[in-house]
Amino acid sequence: MKTDWLLVITAGSLMAGCVNERVVLLPSPDGRQTAIVVRDAQGEVVLDQPYAGVQRRAGEISRVESSTAEVEKLFGAALAAQPQKPRSFMLYFAGGADILTPESASELAAIKGEIAGRPASEVMVIGHTDTVGGLEANDKLSRLRAQTVRDILIAAGVPADKIEIAGRGERELLVKTGDEVAEAKNRRVEISVR
């Protein structure tokens, strides 16, 4: 059973001293198969289909099937209150510099729009380099690239306190290469907006 993506909803209420609970397996957003095992002292139930569930009433567990409409009715407010999923962007740089490639410069509008569309956004900017040059120089360059993107975002109106930066140098290559290899895909800044 694949369990890479799984969303479980529980609801409980206190009535006459006993707790009622329901666990429902929701479909994965990307359509992959998911599953969960619900266990208690009485045994276990495998939920391996979207909207399959279990319900506990007065200590008794029973399998239940839900529907999209029922989940929306019971849990719609909780689902709507979830934060948006993070969104990632990648910007690329000229070799040995903190200058964005023309293609990456054109991506900035989409990034700014994503940040503006999130009322309480947090932005993580992580700079990277290829393997040309020494470790210390690449650490500095990767941080400079992250700082350059941060400055661009601040100039566009993103509050500075919403942006964190880091530099990873050549430690997390997107394309594995040997030392002193100028690989354009490794000269990047990764931006996570959450």
1 band by pLDDT with thresholds 50, 70 and 90: very low
Is pLDDT above 50 for 5?
Answer: no
Any idea where the domains of the chain sit in the sequence? Answer: 8-80, 87-193
Mean pLDDT of 143-162: 96
pLDDT tens digits, residue range 43-101? 888 999 999 988 887 778 889 998 889 888 888 888 888 888 899 999 999 999 999 99
As a whole number, the mean pLDDT across the chain is: 87
Residue 18: predicted pLDDT: 53
Give 113's Cβ-side CA count (13 Å radius): 5
* Class in CATH terms, 87-193: alpha beta
pLDDT tens digits, residue range 88-101? 999 999 999 999 99
